[in-house]
Structure 1
């Protein structure tokens, strides 16, 4: 196996375990996908996805499934993939720079996605996502390829995505960047949920939110784009169970 593919497999498998550590699991469902570098794919769009039927705590570097944009399994894996994961993620991987795509059904994420008003610009975390959040209307389970162009139109260049009535999604130029975006969006939803249980949120003015987003450096590749945070969480996972490296 090419060394770059091995490194990508370990990084993605670690991310699945990080999600499990954070409680961002949904039985055997949801997905994190990672595009393989050109040194491995020869310039074709090949990416890694979790084997369908395994919990995130069972995902390892070796059992991740390598597929192309057509959904063909390329590595002879005995595991199937979830069509819903393939359709949505392969669509978004078509975006230039969408190296990694993450999707969750957390309670807070689905709750905010189910509000007509969506994400409230009313807390420290949502203020860091000013003009970064896209919405896509619910069309049912994402197994129909014809939804793909509409998803891309909805997203544009925004890396934080709320799938209405459905859940949260992020994409990034690196896996840690996609993680930083999703973590911020998830925290914003959690705090909004808590706030709305007590009363009406206090809005953050547009100018202040725009300033917060400019001043927030965690998404910027020049400042690590979430790499330090991701590394810290991987170290936690390693202390618990490093079998994902297998």
Structure 2
């Protein structure tokens, strides 16, 4: 054994705790924004290191109850590697999240919601429309996946990752929304923009006929959206301050 090995293990544990803390914060932020669905839906993050493990919520806790230590570590076969309390995970959550973590090396985190406005837009014939600046910032990052039933069939993973391609946002038809990014802050930032775009669309369409911007404006905004994930450098610290003032205690 070399003298560097314990230090490397210590560094990996420190990095894992950072990811655990950020993911627990994301769960509580989802609850704070009213996007949760009892104990259903799921957020996940890749564990630093060579083992291809990821963290996901224990099936049975409400999102506002999630802490860093309560998150369950699983492998790509869905086997629990480490759990401090509840050790069961949502099978549908495993199918969706393992697909993205296995198929996208750049996906450090994956977030999936059933929030009503997201589901409403997923069921709309035309999907997400360029009705707002927020939506237009999302469109170039967005893709779609057709509904196949509750995601219990592992064969669906191939089709889901095929449809996701290299995009960061996905509308799961008649189901909900999904985002993927390099880490938790970036992925949550994508999620916020996508959910806000869906909320605006539902409100706009409830008011009557809508106005669409010009194709040139849509293309310009798409070009301007290419660095959207970088907004996390500003949004995530602000979100953590908000969470610390509303629902602290996640980093235990």
What TM-score range do you get, normalising by the shorter chain?
A: over 0.9
Deviates more, 1:235-244 or 1:97-106: 235-244
Deviates more, 1:160-169 or 1:205-214: 205-214
Q: Could you tell me how far 1:218 is from its partner in structure 2?
A: 5.7
The answer for unaligned runs of 5 or more in structure 1 is: none
Q: Could you tell me how far 1:77 is from its partner in structure 2?
A: 4.2
CA offsets, 1:139-164, max 9 Å, x none?
01001101111111111111110000
Q: Whole-Å Cα distance in 2 between the matches of residues 120 and 7 of structure 1?
A: 36
Matched, 1:22 2:29: no
Which residue is equivalent to 1:202? 211
Matched, 1:9 2:17: no
TM-score, scaled relative to structure 1: 0.92
- Residue pairs, 1:32-181, within 5 angstroms: 32-38=43-49, 43-79=50-86, 80-94=88-102, 95-181=104-190
Q: Whole-Å Cα distance in 2 between the matches of residues 217 and 134 of structure 1?
A: 15
Q: Whole-Å Cα distance in 2 between the matches of residues 102 and 188 of structure 1?
A: 16
Q: Whole-Å Cα distance in 2 between the matches of residues 241 and 192 of structure 1?
A: 29
Please say if residues 138 and 225 of structure 2, whose CA atoms lie closer than 8 Å, have aligned partners that are also in contact: no
Q: Whole-Å Cα distance in 1 between the matches of residues 68 and 139 of structure 2?
A: 35
Q: Whole-Å Cα distance in 1 between the matches of residues 166 and 244 of structure 2?
A: 34
Across the aligned residues of Structure 1 and Structure 2, the Cα RMSD in angstroms comes to 1.5
Q: Whole-Å Cα distance in 2 between the matches of residues 126 and 76 of structure 1?
A: 38
Deviates more, 1:122-131 or 1:12-21: 122-131
Matched, 1:193 2:202: yes
The answer for unaligned runs of 5 or more in structure 2 is: 1-9
TM-score, scaled relative to structure 2: 0.90
Q: Whole-Å Cα distance in 2 between the matches of residues 20 and 93 of structure 1?
A: 24
**Other structure's SS at 2:174 match:** coil
Please say if residues 132 and 160 of structure 1, whose CA atoms lie closer than 8 Å, have aligned partners that are also in contact: yes
Q: Whole-Å Cα distance in 1 between the matches of residues 19 and 199 of structure 2?
A: 30
Give the length in aligned residue pairs.
Answer: 239
Q: Could you tell me how far 1:200 is from its partner in structure 2?
A: 2.5
Please say if residues 218 and 226 of structure 1, whose CA atoms lie closer than 8 Å, have aligned partners that are also in contact: no
